[in-house]
Amino acid sequence: MFTFEKPRIIVSKCIEFEHCRWNGMIIASDVVKLMKPHVEFLPVCPEVEIGLGVPREPVRVVAGEDGAPRLYQPATDTDWTAEMQGFAHRFLSGLPEVEGFLLKSRSPSCGIKEVKVYPNTPQGMPRKTGSGLFALAVAERFPDTPQEDEGRLTNFRLRETYLTQVFTLREWRDVAAVGTMGALVRFHTRHKLLLMAYNEVAMRDLGRIVANHGGRPDEEVYAAYRAGLSGALARPAGHGPAINVLQHALGYFDELASAEKHFFLQSLEDFRAGRVPLSVPTSIVRSWIVRFGQEYLAGQSFFQPYPEDLVQISDSGKGRDL
């Protein structure tokens, strides 16, 4: 059984950590609650950090005269853009290595997308959506680090992808600290089936980087691999590639009864149809790995990309195709 180290994740403080929303409320999140024992969360509330206080008059994103988003507080007629951008710069510059961001959905500061953008007039309804100002700074400074909001993580595919990303990157942190080609080869080998399920083309590109036929220095190889790794895991595993990996795994178990194989193939169909998450057929193979002592598959992260406890989070059933 693989022992997972805790990934470091910056989280909006109002999600399960503090009553710091503009109205003094806190946001409940089953996902964050379950992640807490397995993650080193670094909570931050950008609006409190710039001195807005709790409770406070709400702020909103307004399209500035030049079209750039601004953070505006209508009740006090105050523009907080410079304070927010300054705080974001200082805070993000001082971070240790982090594996992810988990931000409050639709917030004018933390929202990654679908944040209401108001016109630059005293009255008027929002006509478009964009990002909060802190989230914009995160995206600009950390383009290769996973970023999600707590609302999207109620969707099982997005959650699986995000957890896979942050726990894989946490393993990467240790491998990068070793920095040898041997460590890189072992990392790539362990994640081979996982990468195949997420993005087979990227997996082959990463394989070429590891092979290093051009004889590049180790640091360059590591930098290229890290950049490629983020791209490889950027989107949820495709149903087809993941099914190919699972069917490939089935070939390692000649001892199975036909009823067991049939049950497994049915779960693959359920996964293909979007009725169950990837973890369902994967769990079946994992039980066979233990039962038959299949060492090669036991070492593959595909079968357990993140801690077991996080697989069972109940799903909202919303937005499966996001």
The piece of 44-52, 90-98, 115-123, 312-320 that touches ligand SF4 (CB under 6 A) is: 44-52
Q: Does 12 bind ligand SF4 (CB under 6 A)?
A: yes
User: What is the C-alpha separation between 150 and 60, in angstroms, rounded?
Assistant: 20
SS3 at position 114: coil
Which is closer to ligand SF4, CB of 59 or CB of 289? Answer: 59
Q: Does 115 bind ligand SF4 (CB under 6 A)?
A: no
The piece of 103-111, 186-194, 231-239, 287-295 that touches ligand SF4 (CB under 6 A) is: 103-111
Minimum Å distance from CB 6 to ligand SF4?
A: 21
Q: Does 109 bind ligand SF4 (CB under 6 A)?
A: yes
Which is closer to ligand SF4, CB of 52 or CB of 268? Answer: 52
CA angle 122, 128, 131 (to 5 degrees): 100
Q: Does 133 bind ligand SF4 (CB under 6 A)?
A: no
Q: Does 70 bind ligand SF4 (CB under 6 A)?
A: no
- Rounded to the nearest angstrom, the gap between the alpha carbon of residue 44 and the centroid of all alpha carbons in its chain is 18
Helices (H), 108-238: 133-141, 156-178, 181-190, 192-198, 200-211, 218-232
- Rounded to the nearest angstrom, the gap between the alpha carbon of residue 187 and the centroid of all alpha carbons in its chain is 19
Contact with ligand SF4 (CB under 6 A): which of 104, 170, 191, 286? 104
Site for ligand SF4 in 47-66 (CB under 6 A): 47
Task: Tell me if 80 sits within 8 A of 72, measured CB to CB.
Answer: yes
Which is closer to ligand SF4, CB of 104 or CB of 191? Answer: 104
Which is closer to ligand SF4, CB of 18 or CB of 315? Answer: 18
CB atoms within 10 A of CB 244: 15
- Whose tokens are 């946001």? That residue is 27
Task: Tell me if 196 sits within 8 A of 232, measured CB to CB.
Answer: no
Number of residues that bind ligand SF4 (CB under 6 A): 12
Q: Does 135 bind ligand SF4 (CB under 6 A)?
A: no
Minimum Å distance from CB 30 to ligand SF4?
A: 17
The piece of 107-115, 210-218, 298-306, 312-320 that touches ligand SF4 (CB under 6 A) is: 107-115
Residue 144, CA distances (Å) to 33, 202, 227, 274 in order: 25, 15, 7, 28
Which is closer to ligand SF4, CB of 13 or CB of 170? Answer: 13
Site for ligand SF4 in 13-42 (CB under 6 A): 13-14, 20-21
- Whose tokens are 């609302």? That residue is 151
Q: Does 110 bind ligand SF4 (CB under 6 A)?
A: yes
User: What is the C-alpha separation between 83 and 149, in angstroms, rounded?
Assistant: 23
User: What is the C-alpha separation between 303 and 15, in angstroms, rounded?
Assistant: 30
Q: Does 286 bind ligand SF4 (CB under 6 A)?
A: no
CA angle 277, 194, 303 (to 5 degrees): 60
User: What is the C-alpha separation between 201 and 287, in angstroms, rounded?
Assistant: 29
Minimum Å distance from CB 163 to ligand SF4?
A: 21
For binding to ligand SF4 (CB under 6 A), which residues are involved?
12-14, 20-21, 45-47, 104, 107, 109-110
